[in-house]
Amino acid sequence: MKPYKSLIGTVAAACASLAFCTAQAEPAWPTHAITLVVPFAAGGGGDTLARLMAEPLGRELGQTIIVENRPGAGGNIGTSIAARANPDGYTLAYGTNGTQATNHWLYKSPGYAPGDFEPVSRFTIIAAALVVNSADERFKTLEQLIAYAKSRPGELTCGSAGNGTSSHLACELLNQMAGIKVMHIPYKGGGAAMTDLLGGRISFMIDVMPNVSGQIAAGKLRALGVTTPERVASNPDIPTVSEAGVKGYEFYAWDGLYAPKGTPVAVLDKLNAALNQVLQKPEVRKMLESRGAIPSPTTRAGLKDFGAEEYERLGKVVKTAGASID
C-alpha cells in the first residue's frame, strides 16, 4: 500500500508542478502591439477621437495601439473585419452609436450582429449642436427657428452627412418632437454639408461638437442649442435644445471600445480597468471636453446594458423616420 500511496503522491506533485509551470509559461497580455480597427476614414471625427484615446490607453497598457482605418458602408466594413478577428485581445474595435446600434436598423445585412462583440467600456458621450449660419439674422434663438418652421412647413432645410447618420436622425427627432416639417438634405459626408451651410444654401445642421466648435468659435456659425441633457463644458453659454424650446429633446453620439466575441475575460477586465484609469486623468478629460466629448467610462456590463437601450431607442427614431440605406 505504501508504494502505491507514494506513487500517487509523486504523480500529484508532478501534475501540480506541471500546472504551475504551464501557468508560469503563459505570457501576461499584452506582449506586443494592439490593433484598433476604426471603421471610418482618417481625419474624420470618429478617427480623431479614436486616436486621442489610443495613445494614452497604449501607455497605460505598456504597448503601442496601432489605429487601422477600414472605412466604408457607414462603418460596416471595418466593424465586420474586427468581428471576424482572432479573439486574443490584439485586435479591438472602435464602436459608435452608428455601428453598434442604428446600422442594424438601416442596413438589411450590415455584415455583423450585435452579439459578435464583447463590450469593454464606453469612451465618451459626444454632444451635438443645432447650428445656423451667423449671417442668417432670422434665427437668433431656437424658438424663432421652430416658429418659422411651423408657419412655413417644408421650407427650411436640415443638412446631414448622409441618410441614417447621427446628423440625419437628430433632424428627424427634432421634426417629431417639435411638431415641424423640415426638409432633410443628405450629403456625402459632413464636410460637404458644412460647406453649403456656410454658403447659405441650407438652413441649419445638427452636428457633433468636434465638427462645429471651430466654426462657432470663429463666429461663422451660431449655435441655438446643444443636444445633450446638460450644457457642455466647452461652451457653457449655449443652452440645451430642451431648455431652448423643445422640452425633453435629447440626441447625442457616443463611442466605445469593443473586442471580438470570445476574447478572454481576463483581457477584457484589464482593458476596462486601463480605460477607466485613462479617462480619469485630468489631461485626457480636458482634451476630450475641449472638443465637446464628455468622458463617460462604464463597466463592461454597463456598456452592454447601455448599448441594448440605445439599440431600441435609436431603432424607434429610424423606424418613425422611415430611414433606410438598402
pLDDT for the residue 276: 97
pLDDT for the residue 172: 94
Task: With cut-offs at 50, 70 and 90, classify the pLDDT of residue 27.
Answer: low
Q: Is 277 exposed, middle or buried (0-12, 13-18, 19+ CB in 10 A)?
A: middle
pLDDT at 243 over 50: yes
Q: What is the pLDDT of residues 215-239, one digit of tens each?
A: 999 999 999 999 999 999 889 999 9
pLDDT for the residue 74: 87
Judge contact between 311 and 104, C-beta under 8 A. Answer: yes
What is the C-alpha to C-alpha distance for residues 180 and 212, in angstroms, rounded to an integer?
24
Higher pLDDT, 211 or 25: 211
Q: Residue 283 forms beta bridges with which residues?
A: none
Q: Report, as an integer, the average pLDDT of 37-66.
A: 93
CA Rg value for the chain: 24
Higher pLDDT, 8 or 153: 153
**Rounded to an integer, what is the distance from CA 28 to the centroid of its chain?**
29
Q: Residue 34 forms beta bridges with which residues?
A: 65
Could you give the percent of the chain with pLDDT greater than 90? 74
- Which residues of the chain are in CATH 3.40.190.150 domains? 34-125+252-321
- Which residues of the chain are in CATH 3.40.190.10 domains? 128-244
Pick the CATH number of 128-244 from 3.40.1520.20, 3.40.190.10, 2.40.50.100, 3.90.1150.10: 3.40.190.10
Please tell me the pTM assigned to this model: 0.83
What is the C-alpha to C-alpha distance for residues 240 and 154, in angstroms, rounded to an integer?
24
pLDDT for the residue 5: 46
Number of residues assigned to the chain: 326
Q: What is the pLDDT of residues 85-128, one digit of tens each?
A: 999 999 999 999 999 999 999 999 999 998 999 999 999 999 99
pLDDT for the residue 19: 45
The contacts of residue 166 (CB under 8 Å, 6+ apart) are: 97, 98, 102, 128, 208, 251, 253
Q: Which amino acid is at 198?
A: L
271's enclosing H/E stretch is: helix 265-278
Pick the CATH number of 34-125+252-321 from 3.40.50.300, 3.40.190.10, 3.40.190.150, 3.30.470.10: 3.40.190.150
